[in-house]
Amino acid sequence: MNKIAAIALNTFRESIRDRIFYSLLFFAVVLLAFSMVLGNLTLAEPVKIIKDFGLGSISIVGTLIAIFVGIGMVYKEMEKKTIYVILSKPIARWQFLIGKYCGLSITIIIEVVVMTVLLFVLCYQYVPQIPFTLFYAIVPIYFELQLILAVAFLFSTFSTSFLSGMFTLSIFIIGHLTKDLKMLAQSGDDIVFQKFANGLYYVFPNLENLNFKARVVHNLGISLPEILFSLLYSALYTAVILILAIFIFERRDIP
């Protein structure tokens, strides 16, 4: 456990010293500031616009961080040859991978926490009460980011950073579209398209399951079991992807 913690701490230290992290965090703050401008331009309640835009920003910037830091997780270690010294110590490869994953998870927590606090402060300026209901959207966003990170991590164990980034981004996009695609296919008569859409739906993670943003912003009812089910779905998916990544990494040569 200590070894995993050591790798995690080191990975966290590395990622928060990375300029990409700060650039993206700065980008997130700019987005939040922009939501304020947008809120003032609209005829509707400005706070709803801020919440909507703010949650979207947490999700997008978090996804970019998960992809950018996740894809380099293993490949960069091999490219920079730092992995040789680590794996020559009595540490199992799965411990190394889990440590790296945990370190980046902490980085993502930092991003989500910083942005959540900013969003809350912003909302408080318009409606002087803490919008705790936003957590119904933020916690699933965090779980989605963990899943995206796991996907980036999986590709990183056998592919270059560029390809891993492309693959992960594709899965992020497909994951948000499969539900709509399935519904679209069912409304038509094309059996081949229906099978294709079904295939995509069942193979790729359904990321829309974790999207509660609109319902939270517009105060539409969300039941706790529904959220818990989505979180469990995401956690299981993440676990399976991590196990697959470990399976691949255990067997590969470190050239």
Considering only 12, 14, 65, 143, the residue that binds other proteins (CB under 8 A) is 14
CA distance 67 to 143: 14
Among 3, 48, 176, 215, binds other proteins (CB under 8 A): 3
Please identify which residue in 25, 36, 38, 86 interacts with other proteins, judged by CB under 8 A: 86
C-alpha closest to that of 60 among 177, 162, 211: 211
Q: How far is the CB of 78 from other proteins (least distance, A)?
A: 10
Q: Under the criterion CB under 8 A, does residue 42 sit at the interface with other proteins?
A: no
Task: Establish if 225 lies at the interface with other proteins (CB under 8 A).
Answer: no
20 binds other proteins (CB under 8 A): no
Does residue number 2 form part of the binding site for other proteins (CB under 8 A)?
yes
- 92 DSSP assignment: -
251 forms part of the interface with other proteins (CB under 8 A): yes
DSSP 24-63: HHHHHHHHHHHHHHHHHH-SS-HHHHHHHHHHHHHHHHHH
**Lookup: tokens for 132:** 């705790």
Judged by beta carbon, residue 73 or residue 122, the one nearer other proteins is 73
Q: Is 17 in the site for other proteins (CB under 8 A)?
A: yes
One residue of 20, 33, 183, 254 binding other proteins per CB under 8 A: 254
User: Residue 211 in 3-state DSSP?
Assistant: coil
Contact assessment for residue 63 and residue 145, using Cβ atoms and an 8 Å cutoff: yes
How many Å apart are CA 252 and CA 125, to the nearest integer?
A: 54
**Residue 248, interface with other proteins (CB under 8 A)?**
no
Torsion angle defined by CA atoms of residues 114, 245, 235 and 72, in that order, rounded to the nearest 10 degrees: 10
36 lies in the site for other proteins, by CB under 8 A: no
List contacts with other proteins (CB under 8 A).
2-3, 6-7, 10, 13-14, 17, 80-82, 84-93, 251, 253-255
